[in-house]
Amino acid sequence: MAGRQSPAKSVFITGAAAGIGRAAALRFAAQGWFVGLYDVNAAAVGALAAELGPDRALAGALDVSDAQAFAQAVSEFVGAAGRLDLLINNAGVLLTGDFESHGPERYQWLIDINTRGVVNGCLAASPHLKPGSRVINMCSASALYGTPAFAVYSASKFFVRGLTEALNIEWQRRGILVMDLMPLFVATPMVAGVSDKPKSIDRLGVRLSAEDVAATLYSAATRSAALCPVHWPVGLQTQAVALLQKLTPSRLYRWSQKLITGY
């Protein structure tokens, strides 16, 4: 792999075994990108890499909460691809229910993946990013306003939002664009696997597919930098929620959150 010809562009994707990560991998590979497939589920990303072929993908096991492992994975990927044009920090986990329904160990698990994982990814990628490179962090509509039944998950996505906004400014001087995506509920194994389903999922519905999000990811990766917002609400429903949050007085928006979530 080290001697392979450098592709037109390359993308490193975390959480690539299923859902949004897998859909993004297929989308970018179809457009000629060399794709890095990384996930704790090594068998799944290995199978996807075999499906795409060695000239289009490289797979590896990765726990994003392990900074050293992340740095090594990115370095090995750049050695194979010859460059790093895009990092997609997609890996994430979800816990729902009343705040007290989970203990500190479970919340630490979520925080380590959803926040530390994004920090580790940005740090690991930074030495390899050149002018014109981009970083896209998977955020959430729950980062628009703290969301009942998703409290710690929502807080972790506020972290991602804040980091994205700061790095978007810091790394501008390096010619690197940092953005995030903010979808509402997406039809993925993560959402389908929720055992204590909050009322908001039923009331708002799951209207986005992983392919919808992958399409927005590709737009964020390829659109002219001058036309790229920092935050990308995915889908008309999410865009409407984002606009409502921006225009509605905080007390009224808080009331709408209570109405939607049943709290």
Written as one string, the DSSP assignment of 88-101 is EE-------S-GGG
**pLDDT for the residue 7:** 60
Cα distance between residue 108 and residue 110, in whole Å: 5
Tell me if 72 is assigned to some domain: yes
3-state secondary structure of 14: strand
pLDDT of 194 > 80? The answer is: no
Cα distance between residue 157 and residue 165, in whole Å: 12
**pLDDT for the residue 30:** 96
**pLDDT for the residue 148:** 94
Overall number of domains in the chain: 1
3-state secondary structure of 19: helix
Strands 84-89 and 231-234, how do they pair?
Answer: unpaired
Tell me if 152 is assigned to some domain: yes
Catalytic positions, written as ranges? 153
**pLDDT for the residue 230:** 98
Q: Who contacts 2 (Cβ-Cβ below 8 Å, separation ≥6)?
A: 79, 80
Q: In sequence order, what are the beta bridge partners of 34? A: 10
pLDDT in tens, 30-88: 999 999 999 999 999 999 999 999 999 999 999 999 999 999 999 999 999 999 999 99
Tell me if 14 is assigned to some domain: yes
Asked which of 57-71, 158-172, 231-245 is least confident by mean pLDDT, the reply is 231-245
Tell me if 57 is assigned to some domain: yes
Average pLDDT over residues 12-17: 98
Please give the residue that has the higher pLDDT: either 199 or 165.
165
3-state secondary structure of 226: helix
Q: How many Cβ atoms from other residues are within 10 Å of residue 172's Cβ?
A: 12
Distances (CA, A) of 196 to 98, 103, 132, 150: 9, 15, 43, 11
pLDDT of 262 > 90? The answer is: no
Cα distance between residue 220 and residue 230, in whole Å: 10
Tell me if 5 is assigned to some domain: no
Tell me if 1 is assigned to some domain: no
Residue 246: band (very low, low, confident or very high) from pLDDT cuts 50, 70, 90 = confident
What's the full length of the chain, in residues?
263
- What is the CATH number for 161? 3.40.50.720
Residues of the domain holding 36: 10-261
Distances (CA, A) of 163 to 30, 82, 83, 230, 248: 30, 27, 24, 11, 25
Tell me if 33 is assigned to some domain: yes
pTM: 0.92
**Which uninterrupted H or E stretch holds 211?**
helix 210-222
Residue 132: band (very low, low, confident or very high) from pLDDT cuts 50, 70, 90 = very high
